[in-house]
A and B are shown apart, each in its own frame.
Chain A
């Protein structure tokens, strides 16, 4: 047995991905395409929100969609049906997207014809929070049936997102969901977070979301 020596490493494990994310942000800036990362648990309404966003904004913005799924193409097919360019990234078992996967997926879209690309990340409140995708803004959805305690169970996701969309507010009358408690839980982690309440089913609140997104994209394009 040789002598044991201590070797200093001091390396960040995710620095590769963080750097790739920053490079992608710079590239998208020069392409003038706004990249939005949409995250939530499965079934919270990511695809429904994207479809409704397209419906509301398609005359104002040129939109493309990157769909991530572990191993299916159902969501991308739904988006393509409404005449919007959509690319499916199959993560092959991975629970999240990283900047390299997003960059590869974007190569299949014609960015010069797009103002906004929405990434539908893998449905999961844990892993996607750890990996920079290169997006300008991170948005998450919490649906009413999931409960107001989720910020306490998934603090990282709520800490890193710019916007929280509370979806399925049409269920509020049927559940004991406590909206005031949700706001309190969110503010403990991320006091700057924008919270928007809406229902993809009834359409209530969708305009506020569309206006928020539209103004963000225009601000980005004019910068």
Chain B
């Protein structure tokens, strides 16, 4: 459900940059999103199409670069990537430790856009 307020933000930020750069159409929006977010790519595209109607971003393609979940081992401090689909198997590849904490994987970043 929280796709809507997030996509509204994406739209407002890109439209602001579009006005600043005096572009006439936004063709694509490139984003970096952490795998820990529960956003679904299909729904982002769907809601975006709905919200962007009648704006410079209408019809724009959303491209998502999914950023990995990075954990830090609480034992040896080595950082490693975790697989969201297999959090049960999450452990330190260096020392085998099973206690860790989240370093990154929560990104919500608009990187750039293609516009004309």
Contacts and interface: CB of A to CB of B under 8 A. Distances in A.
A185 B90 CA distance: 9
Contact of A156 (B10, B25, B37, B100): B37
A3 B27 CA distance: 11
Given A156-B38, A188-B100, A7 B21 contact: yes
A13 B108 contact: yes
Interface string B30-51: 0000001110000000000000
With a 10 A CB-CB cut-off, give which of B74, B87, B98 has the most chain A CB atoms.
B87
A5 B21 CA distance: 10
Contacts of A188: 87-88, 90-91, 98-100
Contact of B112 (A6, A151, A191): A6
B112 A156 contact: no
- The main secondary structure of chain B at its interface with chain A is mixed
A170 B105 CA distance: 36
B11 to A, nearest CB: 10
Contacts of A160: 102
- The main secondary structure of chain A at its interface with chain B is mixed
B21 A1 contact: no
A155 B82 CA distance: 11
Interface string B13-30: 110011001011101000
Given A5-B114, A155-B84, A187 B99 contact: yes
A130 interface: yes
B24 to A, nearest CB: 6
A61 interface: no
Q: For chain B, which range describes its interface: under 10, 10 to 19, 20 to 34, or 35 or more residues?
A: 35 or more
Interface string A5-43: 111111111101000000000000000000000000000
A80 interface: no
With a 10 A CB-CB cut-off, give which of B21, B84, B110 has the most chain A CB atoms.
B110
Given A185-B88, A188-B100, A11 B114 contact: no
A41 B18 CA distance: 40
Contacts of B110: 9-11, 13
B22 to A, nearest CB: 11
Contacts of A156: 36-38, 106
A11 B109 contact: yes
Interface in A66-100: 93-96, 98
B104 to A, nearest CB: 11
Contacts of B13: 9, 11, 13
29 contacts: A2-B24, A4-B27, A4-B114, A6-B112, A7-B112, A7-B113, A8-B112, A9-B13, A11-B13, A11-B109, A13-B108, A14-B6, A94-B1, A94-B2, A95-B2, A127-B2, A155-B84, A156-B36, A156-B37, A156-B38, A188-B88, A188-B90, A188-B91, A188-B98, A189-B100, A189-B101, A191-B74, A191-B100, A192-B101
Given A127-B2, A155-B36, A188-B87, 15 more contacts: A7-B112, A9-B111, A9-B112, A9-B113, A10-B112, A12-B107, A12-B109, A95-B1, A98-B5, A187-B100, A188-B91, A188-B100, A191-B100, A191-B101, A192-B101
